[in-house]
Amino acid sequence: MKLQTQRFIDRWVGQLLCSAVSAWVSFTGLFGAPAQLSSAPKNILVILLSEMGSIVLAGPMFAQLRRQYPGAAIHLLQLKKNQEVSKLLQLTDAQCMHSLDDSSGGALVGDILAISLKMRRLGLDAVIDCELFSRVSALLSFSTGAAVRVGFTPHTQEGLYRGSFINHAIPYNPYQHISKQFLSLVDALGAAGSTPRNKAAPIRDLPVDTELSVPFAKGELAAYRAKLVADHTVTTNRKLVLMYAGGGILPERAWPAEHYARVAQGLCAAGFAVGLIGLKDDAQLAKDLIAKICDAACIDLTGYTRSIRELLMLFHAASLLITNDGGPGHFATLTPIQTMVFFGPETGKLYGPLGKRNAILESGIACSPCLSAYNHRLTFCDGDNQCLKRIAPDPVLDQALAFLLHDITGDKRSRTGAAA
């Protein structure tokens, strides 16, 4: 189903349904006490329908849930196309992973009904809705039958109505990193009521560690590195720099292709290899970039990795990733690679990768960021993303070279020390 179609249905049909559910919950609430989570819950559902990168940012939240409720089964509801990452990261047991197929309206409605019935038969103690102002996820939190419903509230924001039936709500904060806000959802599970009226929650720092990892078999990474060298011999004696120049479903997040070409030329001239990564849909962009770069040390790796697991192995084999805002920058935090990530339509202050091996590159012009939960990620720049165009390539090249040369020096010192 097209993204615009989803937004249209969510806006008009979603608001109507949310209003009806709110009226029903308000009426039935007159005859009972407010719902509270039991001291030993058995089943908690997390609804996380966003992009795959959000799964990595939610890593600390899942770790906190397991620590706080060790006896509970943590269920996860996602879009079917995003499940590969969750299975790879083993966010929860396989039997606790559930999915929705959004390829068509009929498939989506059918899966919503099936999941709702399944969750009601299971007997959920609570549901955590990680979506910001999506009506479909809010309605899902109600249809599952969970007595305790945790999620974000727009509070007094106009035009973002999604009902009043989320009974353990916290205000969305556009000034705090989303990972901290995910942790606040866990805090709200055991709260007496909605956080806008009950603010006794822990003070948390921004998580440094995703608390996620992908185990590899002994020799697996070395074997992959050997395969990479065999397939692309130019990487034999060169450190590899990866570039993701595609914009994915939001092309306004892409740093200009000519800027990428300038940086790649400088890196190749300095003795490094450059690999252009992406999906098969990015193959034409890679071909155009290689034509501009005109250096045998720049190789096309679009479509080279057949899974997220292989992408992580590729990150292990490289020294630096230069990327637009998106999934690759977040997946890289699961590996030792250094990353440089461009932000503009969105901001690294809210969605930047976790960890200490990341450099966030932003211009800081007045209209940036322009995509937010309040405008449903619809930009007004009409493709003229000045926030990214104004990040000049030469300073980016200098920063990349500074890291790579320091990395080489560090490797030499390490080998010298080992020899001594």
* pLDDT for 197 beyond 60: no
Question: Chain-centre distance of CA 233, in angstroms?
Answer: 33
CATH class of 3-197: alpha beta
Whole-number pLDDT of residue 31:
67
pLDDT recorded at residue 255:
97
- pLDDT at res. 89: 95
Check pLDDT > 50 for residue 296.
yes
Mean pLDDT over all residues of the chain? 92
pLDDT at 33: 72
**Average pLDDT for residues 363-387, to the nearest whole number?**
89
User: Of the ranges 156-165, 259-268, 275-284, 346-355, which one carries the lowest mean pLDDT score?
Assistant: 156-165
Residue 203: the pLDDT is: 84
8 Å CB contact between 161 and 79: no
Cα(76)–Cα(95) distance, rounded to whole angstroms?
Answer: 10
User: Are the C-beta atoms of residues 389 and 349 closer than 8 Å to each other?
Assistant: no
Higher pLDDT, 384 or 7: 384
Torsion of CA 121, 127, 133, 138, to 10 degrees: 30
CA–CA dist 29, 26 (Å, integer): 5
Percent over 70 (pLDDT), the chain: 95
| Predicted confidence (pLDDT) at residue 48 exceeds the cutoff of 70 | yes
pLDDT at residue 419, as a whole number: 41
Q: 128-132, 151-155, 408-412: which has the minimum mean pLDDT? A: 408-412
Q: ∠391-405-392 over CA atoms, to 5°? A: 10
Per DSSP, the chain holds a count of helices (H) and strands (E) of 15, 12
For residue 190, pLDDT over 70 is answered with yes
Strand 168-171 vs strand 298-300: parallel, antiparallel, or unpaired? unpaired
Least confident of 9-13, 61-65, 93-97, 154-158: 154-158
Say what the alpha-carbon torsion angle 128, 133, 135, 137 is, to the nearest 10 degrees: -30
**Can you give the pLDDT at residue 377?**
79
d(CA 314, CA 301): 10
For CA atoms 303, 304, 309, 315, give the dihedral sign. negative
Whether residue 165 is predicted with pLDDT greater than 90 in this model: the reply is: yes
Do the first three CATH levels of 3-197 and 220-419 match, i.e. the same topology?
Answer: yes
| Phi/psi at 243 (5° precision) | -130, 130
Confidence class for position 409, pLDDT limits 50, 70, 90 = low
**Residue 418 pLDDT grade (very low, low, confident, very high; cuts 50, 70, 90):** very low
Question: What is the CATH topology of the domain spanning 220-419?
Answer: Rossmann fold (3.40.50)
pLDDT at 199: 59
For residue 247, what pLDDT is reported?
A: 87
**Gap between the Cα atoms of 83 and 184, Å rounded:** 24
pLDDT above 80 (res 181): yes
- Report domain extents, the chain: 3-197, 220-419
Per-residue pLDDT, averaged over 94-118, amounts to: 94
Per-residue confidence at 298, pLDDT binned at 50, 70, 90? very high
How far apart CA 347 and CA 124 sit, in angstroms, is 35
- Answer whether residue 413 shows pLDDT above 70: no
Distance CA 258, CA 243 (A): 13
pLDDT of residue 415 exceeding 50, the answer is: no
Confidence class of residue 17 from pLDDT cuts 50, 70 and 90? very high
Is the confidence at residue 84, as pLDDT, over 90?
yes
pLDDT computed for residue 299 by the predictor:
98
| 302 vs 5, more confident | 302
> Is pLDDT of 105 > 60?
yes
Cβ-contact 199, 188 below 8 angstroms: no
Least confident of 207-211, 248-252, 287-291, 301-305: 248-252
pLDDT given at position 192:
78
Q: Over 70: is that where the pLDDT of 57 sits?
A: yes
Q: Bin 304: left if φ > 0, else alpha if -120 < ψ < 50, else beta.
A: alpha
pLDDT for position 410 = 61
**Residue 390 region by backbone torsions, left for phi larger than 0, else alpha for psi between -120 and 50, else beta:** alpha
Among 76-85, 156-165, 360-369, the minimum mean pLDDT is found in: 156-165
pLDDT at residue 416 in the model: 42
Mean pLDDT of 357-380: 91
